[in-house]
Amino acid sequence: MAGPNGDPDISIDDDGTAEDEDDFSEGEYTSINSMLDQINNSLDDLEDRNDSLNGKLHELLESNRQARVEFRAQLAEPQTKDHLDDEEDSSSSSASQQEKDQDWEKP
């Protein structure tokens, strides 16, 4: 009969050891061991798959980081080049303006 928590009724022998009322045959133990081995193998397989996916995820993250760094570098290059071109344009337009001013000053 089950105890108050649904536990099987376990009696205590005169020598103080617990004795379970359920006696399993050798075949039942063999079957349970076989099922536990299958579960263990399945868990090992899941662990291997998890490790593999984790490694691939880390590779993907590192690849994305590298791509982001390269993309930012490419974005920064045209801005720097445009900034230098703007400075050249403004200095050449200033020189051009100075030449025009000098032409007006000449009689």
pLDDT in tens, 4-33: 566 666 666 666 655 555 678 999 999 999
**Is residue 36 included in any domain, yes or no?**
yes
User: How many independent structural domains does the chain possess?
Assistant: 1
Query: Could you report the per-residue pLDDT of 34-75, keeping only the tens digit for each?
Result: 999 999 999 999 999 999 999 999 999 999 999 999 999 999
**Is residue 30 included in any domain, yes or no?**
yes
Closest CA to 24 of 4, 47, 43, 8: 8
Closest CA to 61 of 45, 72, 69: 69
**Is residue 78 included in any domain, yes or no?**
yes
First to last CA, the chain: 124
Q: What pLDDT, on the 0 to 100 scale, is given for residue 71?
A: 94
Q: What pLDDT, on the 0 to 100 scale, is given for residue 51?
A: 98
Q: Could you give phi then psi for residue 15, rounded to 5 degrees? A: -90, 5
Q: What pLDDT, on the 0 to 100 scale, is given for residue 44?
A: 98
Range of the domain at 44: 26-89
**Is residue 49 included in any domain, yes or no?**
yes
**Is residue 69 included in any domain, yes or no?**
yes
**Is residue 41 included in any domain, yes or no?**
yes
**Is residue 73 included in any domain, yes or no?**
yes
